[in-house]
Structure 1
Amino acid sequence: MKKTFVLVVLFVFPLVAYLFFASGVNNFGRLPVLTENVDELEQFTGDAKLEGKITILGFLGTEIGKIKGNAFNLNQKIYKRFSEFNDFQMLMMVPTGYEEEVTALKEELGTLSDVDKWNFVFGSTAEIETFFKSLETNLSLDETYGTPYVFIVDKDRNLRGRNDDEDEGVKYGFNTTSVAELNNKMEDDVKIILAEYRLALKKNNANRSK
């Protein structure tokens, strides 16, 4: 009897827990759209775009050395977990003139993981401010034109987030300074939007095969 109980705890319970949480993601529905039609990146230099991508969007500002710890948090907790998914990218906005600092940051990140889906675009501070306003959040850039918050933008350039967050009510972005927030909130929300697109893809494939 004791051996049976141990086997159940070691093997059956983890499987049941996995199925419960996996189904929970699918049953959770869509991640709410908070802002539609976020600006595209035509005015920025860099080989990246929002359309057709599931994007984790950030603003590094001019003091990249001070915020690189946040980038490492994001890399370890979000990027490494989801980088294998098609059409997933990290996209960081940086003021023009800080290309060398970005190269150094990307090299450091590259010692921890493959950084093929870490993209950076550059623009004037005015262009970055204008773009940030298109997100229509309750947040703002600091004096370096950066923020520790990152945002989820879907393939149609809609900002996704939470409209019933237990702490903030409407939650537009995720604070990369907080590992707990990345673990407990952002990871769940990225799972939801990826599950949403996987489900849509399965439906499209099923319809084509009919």
Structure 2
Amino acid sequence: MKKFFVIFVLFALPLGAYLFFASGVNNFARLPVLTQEIYQLESFRSLEDEEEEVSFDGKITILGFPGGEPLEYSNNAYHLAEKIYDRYAEFKDFQFVSVIPSGSEAEVEKLQDKISKVIDLKKWKFVTGTSEEINALFDSLNTDLELTGDLSTPNVFIIDKEGKLRGRDKDDDGNELYGYDTGSIFVLNNKMNDDVKVILAEYRLALKKYNRENTEK
């Protein structure tokens, strides 16, 4: 009996662990696409440089909607800066985009001044648009969430390089997870952080495969 138990521990458990994690890799190698086509950013104007064209194309984007009173978003912005932006801002082709209503520029500058004291905002873009443009962008995400009256939400969204919304097709409650609540440290640490890692790994693996195939030609 003891011999059987030792054999089980030495061989069966490692094999089971391998199969479990191998299955996990297959299931979670890609972050699910939840919405195929969303409204593009070309109609929005960059707050930093009016000549700059901010786009989803070729970028992994964290999209946010601070609304018409962005200073009210300060705590959420700090959470996002510390838990996500600071960890991934140095990755190439990675950006944050915050969409605000036209006329809120002065408030945004105050928010930028606050955040810039703890992080470098070079990868964090702020763009302005009309209420119609903002609603069109948000509605195109096709989520179960809503904007408030000042066009804000505490949730941010992961948009891939092809302009598709990524998230979880089955969260802990069995429903889709479209956006990540920046008011929750738990969500940022345990869900969004993991999902950003997954999509970054997905693109790194795709790039390695592309480079390898071209090297072999």
Give the alignment's TM-score, normalised by structure 1: 0.86
Superposition CA RMSD, Å: 1.7
Q: Matches of 2:67 and 2:133 in 1, distance apart?
A: 13
Q: 1:26 to 1:120 in 2, by over 3 A?
A: farther
Q: Matches of 1:24 and 1:121 in 2, distance apart?
A: 41
Q: 1:25 to 1:71 in 2, by over 3 A?
A: farther
Question: Hey, what does 2:210 align to over in structure 1?
Answer: 204
Among candidates 113, 127, 131, match of residue 125 of structure 1: 131
Residue 23 of structure 1: how far off its partner (Å) = 8.9
Q: State yes or no: 1:43 paired with 2:49.
A: no
- Which stretch shows the higher mean deviation, 108-117 or 26-35? 26-35
Q: State yes or no: 1:94 paired with 2:100.
A: yes
Residue 114 of structure 1: how far off its partner (Å) = 1.2
Question: Hey, what does 1:31 align to over in structure 2?
Answer: 31
Question: Hey, what does 1:5 align to over in structure 2?
Answer: none
Residue 92 of structure 1: how far off its partner (Å) = 0.3
The superposition leaves residues 53-88 of structure 1 with CA deviations (integer Å, 9 ceiling, x where unpaired) of 000000010111111110110000000001111100
The superposition leaves residues 101-148 of structure 1 with CA deviations (integer Å, 9 ceiling, x where unpaired) of 112211211110111000011011111011111101110100110000
Question: Hey, what does 1:61 align to over in structure 2?
Answer: 67
Question: Hey, what does 1:11 align to over in structure 2?
Answer: none
Whether contact under 8 Å (2:88, 2:94) holds in the other structure is yes
**AA partner of residue 92 (structure 2):** N
**AA partner of residue 158 (structure 1):** K
1:1-210 matches, within 5 Å, as 28-46=28-46, 47=52, 48-167=54-173, 169-210=175-216
**AA partner of residue 151 (structure 1):** F
Unpaired stretches in structure 1, ≥5 consecutive residues: 1-21
Total equivalences in the alignment = 189
Whether contact under 8 Å (1:26, 1:192) holds in the other structure is no
Q: Matches of 2:34 and 2:184 in 1, distance apart?
A: 22
Whether contact under 8 Å (1:57, 1:90) holds in the other structure is yes
Q: Give 3-state SS (helix, strand or coil) of 1:165's partner.
A: coil
**AA partner of residue 184 (structure 2):** S
Unpaired stretches in structure 2, ≥5 consecutive residues: 1-20, 47-51
Question: Hey, what does 1:4 align to over in structure 2?
Answer: none
Q: Percent identity?
A: 48
Give the alignment's TM-score, normalised by structure 2: 0.83
**AA partner of residue 105 (structure 1):** L
Q: Give 3-state SS (helix, strand or coil) of 1:207's partner.
A: helix
Higher Rg of the two aligned structures: 2
> Where has structure 1 moved over 2 Å in runs of 4 or more?
22-28
